[in-house]
Amino acid sequence: MEYILIKTLEAMATFILAFLVGMTYGGVVRKITGRVHNRLGPPWYQNFIDAFKLFSKTRGIHHGAMHFLGAAFLMVTSVVSLMIIPVLAPGGHAWYNSWFTNMNFNGDLIFLLYIMTFGPLGMAMGAGQTGNPNSSIGVTRGLSQMVGFEIPWVMALVALMISYKTTSVIDFMNIQRETGTWLMFANPFAFIAAVLAMLGMFRYSPFDIVGAPTELASGPVSENGGKFLFTMMSSGSVFTFAKLVLYVDLFMGGANNLVMLVVKTFLLYMIPVLYGIVSPRYRTEQAVRWFWGWPTFIGLLAILYAVMF
């Protein structure tokens, strides 16, 4: 009983950490974008104010049960994937380390691959319910883009699985701790393919085709305001943090304490952000074609590398 209670408390601690870090990253990204734009930009805590304002809207229009499911699926996806991913590396000696070893198990990488495609499907259901044509078009684009970047991403993970004969994130972190080399150096092709897939995963420009404002007024979320938008915003930031942590765990040997975690995730996060600031938006078929070009080829190289050596 106490065990379950403690586990729950640890899970809540993980969630709160993910929420805070994710929202702060959002604000910092807006600040950086503003600086690139020759302007001051909003304060770093702007996203918290926005979220609270959205939460305290007094009226929220909904379009039936499926509309609720859209937001709910996103939240479930982000929370579950956060719960699966071990936030901190096992070998750490910080006093809070035991809080963030979550309910990971053998084969959780397969489960992650499944659960990370779960949210867009729920989003599709919710957007279809709203009856807004922009939403449905945006959902179509989102799914096709997901098909695009899933292939190099899966290839990179498969390469890792082949070369280390395991499908557990914890095992990967242990391997990196024992051998002492990060996987981004052990299998560089897999890392490159995964990073190229990450560009599409975070939906910054040039791959922000889902919610392109000038094309289809913010796409699937165009009918969601108030608390719906708050749910999507917070789940999105949690999901961002979860994905970053997964990358750090797989390729950068995890992190022993929170400071290292924040540093590593932020450095990774800057890749899509800074690339997005200076690039226009791809069209849908162009984006898919791009993903099936070099990233897929590099993924193949990664698999060959894993098979041969």
Enumerate binding residues for other proteins (CB under 8 A). 30, 34, 36-43, 46, 49-50, 52-53, 56-61, 133-134, 137, 140, 205-206, 208-209, 212-218, 221-226, 229, 277-284, 286
Contact criterion met (CB below 8 Å) for 197 and 153: yes
User: Which residue bears the tokens 């400071």?
Assistant: 259
Minimum CB separation from other proteins for residue 218, in Å?
A: 4
Q: How far is the CB of 225 from other proteins (least distance, A)?
A: 4
Contacts of 286 by beta carbon, 8 Å cutoff, 6+ apart: none
Report DSSP state, residue 87: S
Q: Which is nearer to other proteins, 205 or 234 (CB)?
A: 205
Q: How far is the CB of 207 from other proteins (least distance, A)?
A: 10
Tokens of 7: 């586990």
In the complex with other proteins, which residue's Cβ is closer, 201 or 212? Answer: 212
Question: Scanning the structure block, which residue is given the tokens 């305290």?
Answer: 56
Nearest-approach distance from CB 196 to other proteins, in angstroms:
15
Q: Which is nearer to other proteins, 164 or 291 (CB)?
A: 291
The least distance separating other proteins from the CB of residue 34, rounded to whole angstroms, comes to 6
Kindly state the helix (H) or strand (E) to which residue 239 belongs, with its residue range. Answer: helix 227-251
Q: Which is nearer to other proteins, 59 or 93 (CB)?
A: 59
Q: How far is the CB of 30 from other proteins (least distance, A)?
A: 8
Nearer to other proteins, 167 or 205 (CB): 205
Side-chain-side CA neighbours of 198 within 13 Å: the count stands at: 27
Closest listed residue to residue 233, CA positions, set 28, 55, 11: 55
Rounded Cα gap, residues 186 and 177, in angstroms? 13
C-beta of 287 vs 298, nearer to other proteins: 287
Element (H, E) at 304: helix 294-308
Computed on alpha carbons and rounded to an integer, the radius of gyration of the chain in Å comes to 19
Residue pointed to by tokens 């007094």: 58
Structure tokens at 91: 């070998």
